[in-house]
Chain A
Amino acid sequence: MDLTDRQVERYSRQIILQQVGGKGQQRLLAARVLVIGAGGLGSPVALYLAAAGIGTIGIVDGDRVDVTNLQRQIIHHTCDIGVEKVESAAAKMRAINPDVEVRTYSQRVTAANIMDIVSDYDFVIDGTDNFAAKFLINDACCLAKRPFSHAGILRFEGQLTTILPGTSACYRCVFHQPPPTNAVPSCSQAGVLGTVAGVIGCLQATEAIKYLLGIGQLLTDAILVFDAMTCTFRRIPVRRADDCPVCGPNATIKEPIDLDGPLCDLKVPTDVGDP
């Protein structure tokens, strides 16, 4: 579909980039990206992808906006407290850019629903806050062969990697399985600086855009670790693991599995929200 005059004007600052151009913008408008988690990571991702003119953006989250979210989940405003996060996020994305078709999924991802959801998208963003969801997303994206950006944040640090299933190292190549429940630090001790979520989320959105445009080098086979305290980025090279249970030659995981049982028994105060 040809760009309208208004679209040429709206996206002029990126169309002018040689690596994007009108063709690239048309690609973005035809693309579908799924953002799982409308929290600290999902907020900047969803806002920037909407602004960039990604044609279809799905957003998944089962929570409602809480006052403790507002310090970092910048897609939600004070007046949204109590509103479903996906509805709050969708309103901002539509307000930024009416070109975007926003699809909302007011639910958590589970083994039962995730394959159907991710299969509808070209690229997936993991903006979730817990290991059960991170492993589930990794497994589902590997099984459905959907490229995705994984990220995590904690305190003053964040990390991310881009995964092209079957081609580059997946999350399970690096972390075989979730940490034992008793090893997970209590969340009341954890906390996170909002801007760290912003830094990492912006990088995730950038990876999605690069993938959709087919430009540059993706952050594959490497984990990028950001330390806000020293303002340093380190890139740790990783490789596909022969013994990876989901993408290795002898993979044992053939369908998504819910891991939340053993990970759920840590009760935390509600004043510590997702990232």
Chain B
Amino acid sequence: MKIFVNGRQTDIEGPVTVSRLLTLQEVKMPQMVSVELNGQILRPGQFESTLVTEGDNVEFIYFMGGGRWT
């Protein structure tokens, strides 16, 4: 199926769960990502139960702080 991940068209076998997509896309620290599916922000608890299907638009939005955690 064809989906869009961060604006880029990607061809993967699917449907897949959001959790699986995070793995397939090699997101190393999924805890540092907020996922938006077709304009809707998902909460981490929904990653396992939400399916990504043909034509979906997925955005991985990363936590971005700075160089030091104080």
Contact = CB atoms under 8 A, between A and B. Distances in A.
B6 interface: yes
A176 B67 contact: no
A153 B62 CA distance: 10
Q: Which among B29, B39, B64 has the highest number of chain A CB atoms within 10 Å?
A: B64
Interface string B19-46: 0000000000101101010011101000
Given A183-B29, A234-B6, A175 B40 contact: no
Contacts of A274: 66-68, 70
Interface residues of A, number: 47
A131 interface: yes
B68 A152 contact: no
A215 interface: no
A275 B6 CA distance: 25
A268 B39 contact: no
B31 A183 contact: yes
Contact of A239 (B39, B61, B66, B67): B39
A129 B68 contact: yes
A153 B68 CA distance: 11
A175 B69 CA distance: 17
A185 B28 CA distance: 11
A131 B68 contact: no
Given A174-B61, A236-B59, A275 B41 contact: no
A130 B61 contact: no
Contacts of B61: 159, 174-175, 223, 225, 236, 238
A238 B31 contact: no
B65 A130 contact: yes
Contacts, number: 105
A237 B43 contact: no
16 contacts: A128-B65, A129-B69, A130-B66, A152-B66, A154-B62, A157-B62, A157-B64, A159-B62, A159-B64, A176-B34, A178-B63, A187-B68, A238-B39, A239-B41, A264-B70, A274-B67
Interface of A: 39-41, 128-132, 134, 152-154, 157-159, 173-176, 178-180, 183-185, 187, 190-192, 223, 225, 234, 236-239, 241, 243, 260, 263-264, 266, 268, 272-275
B43 to A, nearest CB: 6
A230 B29 CA distance: 22
B41 to A, nearest CB: 6
A245 B43 CA distance: 12
Given A174-B34, A236-B61, A268 B68 contact: yes
A179 B66 contact: no
B69 A131 contact: yes
B41 A131 contact: no
B67 A129 contact: yes
A34 to B, nearest CB: 18
A176 B7 CA distance: 23
Contacts of A191: 67
A154 B29 contact: no
Nearest to A240: B41
A85 B38 CA distance: 43
Given A158-B64, A185-B29, A268 B36 contact: no
